[in-house]
Structure 1
């Protein structure tokens, strides 16, 4: 399909490239999926345990279930993100299910019902409201500016850590955790519905080009892809026959396990060190500020060097940050540790979704990301359960954090071993060719 060069370059009269509305939708989806479920659960887990008597590992296990269900669903529907109207339909269904499941938590009485609503039903909804939306659509709309675009989108999770943790804590103090979940569900629907008209699969669907047709940047040593014209897109079957996919999947699995273990236990970890709930929540807010700022730094590093090298540097820095957290025994040290951890850990949220299109291209990204997310989410989903189980066994998070120092270093080493795809059987696609329906 050849693009019609007479097509209007600014749909809906927008004064900027339409792709930036995709970035805005991605930003809000990351804000909602992290703030309303991930960060809120950290604040509510203590009050929920005190009110119900449920084991902490059981409560956090619902988050594990949520991620596993979302991963399995992503495997089934990932290919529909590569179809013209697929992203819009998946997002609409996801918003309604995710928001509705959180509102229903107001009436929950038994732990299995909590797991069913938050873990299973919310997990199905998270397919359309979570990281898959940004991970698939943004690389389709941007190539030369991919690092910047992804940095902006994933910064939504950093902003949610800054804003939602204190808000959730205030709601819990005044109304309790049950009403808090009602607020989280209502906000999920109210914040995401307005962005639905802007959820579009690819620029070619609107007669546009990636990056608004901007000229590609000069090649940089170590980069795998540098422009839409030179980008080679691999099918899922081609990628699965390469050791590149499997080594990357292993490296990202270890990184996601480390990230989820660390991030899901920050507030409870600070509480276990003797800090008050308010101080621990503000520690998470400090993390959120620096995590937000770090996204742009790591996106720039990925654009200037390579995604591979950026992941290696980020993983080593995060390992150091975990060690600093273990030494945080005063408020000043705790806030400093949270700031450094935000700078380091926040980068993985930018780099992990960037590494797949860097190696495999953008045309079949929905299928590839859906499959790799299914595999890596098993590791990510085990993180909160691992942290909760270590707390139940030892009464602290110390050993869980000691393990993370090593796993981040393993992630760096494996990523360094990954080599680019080397298949010259097909010519690279041109930007005048639309993605397959």
Structure 2
């Protein structure tokens, strides 16, 4: 785009990205309660796919930065509320109890694979059609794929006469056959809710910072651009794999134990990433470890809330949690960039991430074990 629109700065594009994220985060609390309604998620996803596709088509005709800001940043940010992981986090746990961790891993895989595949598709489409027609193609496919799939969304199995995990009778679920749990008002009065928010937010600090700085971190340590790109690819592959790994661990143990293991692993990886400077093979292993830890949080975050607060009101609860965690995630890149700008190294920022992981471990360790929420 910037090759043709020469009067544009990169800040015009990334500024719109920032506005999009902020508007989306601000909108989640407004739609959280709506997703707990019978057809709420289906309607929200349909609107998001339709409006989101129209926005992409509209971008194909932009000439000025303010047009891109309006379409991609403002209107796209509003539509993105219904296209983020918030829907998966609110609905998948309602459909599964015993199989919830693996189901959540599968439910969040799309975003991980998209990050790996879409850049290749975008490069091929732009090369063949030009960037303007490429935006049209993206928009049309968003509508043609997103809207019909949205029609298949159902809030919970009980709405259509089914039970979680595909069970056929209530007794096989051992008291988990009907949605139950605390509503948002009740959850806010429970100390564990705020402790969990703190633990999850602290553990989510590197979620954007590490992948965004993986390439410059390797290049600043003397590695080639190809080696840095390979490190990022390894990170991406392990981020997807990490969802299944930690989903399996949570399925075999508990979400709480899995979370404690993840943050200890994350602290160890970040500490070693600060210490080891030149050994390429070891740094590739640490890139893989970073992906495993950060990818795992994408699964464990939405698993924590039904485990502690039940599955009946997850939309409302995620509406509270998502913006708070997003704010902390947005701070991560700032910490790493300031560390480099002021000290010429990412090491201080990496050690600060180690501290946040350890604080997250401490908070989760003293958070009371969840009571049995999912009762008849």
* Shift, 1:361, TM fit: 0.7
The answer to whether 1:69 aligns with 2:18 is no
Name whichever of 137-146 and 265-274 sits farther off.
265-274
Name whichever of 103-112 and 72-81 sits farther off.
103-112
TM-score by length of 2: 0.83
The residue aligned with 2:204 is: 256
The answer to whether 1:82 aligns with 2:30 is no
* Shift, 1:342, TM fit: 1.9
The residue aligned with 2:105 is: 151
Q: Closer, same or farther in 2 for the Cα pair 1:406/1:271, shift >3 Å?
A: same
The answer to whether 1:121 aligns with 2:75 is yes
The answer to whether 1:375 aligns with 2:324 is yes
The answer to whether 1:412 aligns with 2:361 is yes
User: Any stretches of 5+ residues in structure 2 without a counterpart?
Assistant: none
* Shift, 1:418, TM fit: 1.3
Instruction: Give CA deviations for 1:322-354 in whole Å, capped at 9, x if unaligned.
Output: 234443546544433322222222111110010
Q: Closer, same or farther in 2 for the Cα pair 1:228/1:258, shift >3 Å?
A: same
The answer to whether 1:141 aligns with 2:95 is yes
Matched residues in 2 for 1:81 and 1:101: separation?
Answer: 23
The residue aligned with 2:151 is: 197
Superposed CA RMSD:
3.7
Give 3-state SS (helix, strand or coil) of 1:208's partner.
coil
TM-score by length of 1: 0.73
* Shift, 1:268, TM fit: 4.4
Verify the 8 A CA contact 1:155 1:291 in the aligned structure 2.
Answer: no
2:291 maps to which of 328, 335, 342:
342
The answer to whether 1:212 aligns with 2:166 is yes
Q: Closer, same or farther in 2 for the Cα pair 1:388/1:192, shift >3 Å?
A: farther
Verify the 8 A CA contact 1:64 1:384 in the aligned structure 2.
Answer: no
Matched residues in 2 for 1:245 and 1:120: separation?
Answer: 31
Alignment size in residue pairs: 375
The residue aligned with 2:302 is: 353
Q: Closer, same or farther in 2 for the Cα pair 1:422/1:300, shift >3 Å?
A: closer
Verify the 8 A CA contact 2:211 2:232 in the aligned structure 1.
Answer: no
The answer to whether 1:237 aligns with 2:221 is no
Alignment of 1:281-320 (within 5 A): 281-320=229-268
* Shift, 1:127, TM fit: 1.4
Give 3-state SS (helix, strand or coil) of 2:162's partner.
coil
Name whichever of 232-241 and 405-414 sits farther off.
405-414
Q: Closer, same or farther in 2 for the Cα pair 1:271/1:197, shift >3 Å?
A: farther
Give 3-state SS (helix, strand or coil) of 1:265's partner.
helix
Verify the 8 A CA contact 2:175 2:374 in the aligned structure 1.
Answer: no
* Shift, 1:116, TM fit: 4.0
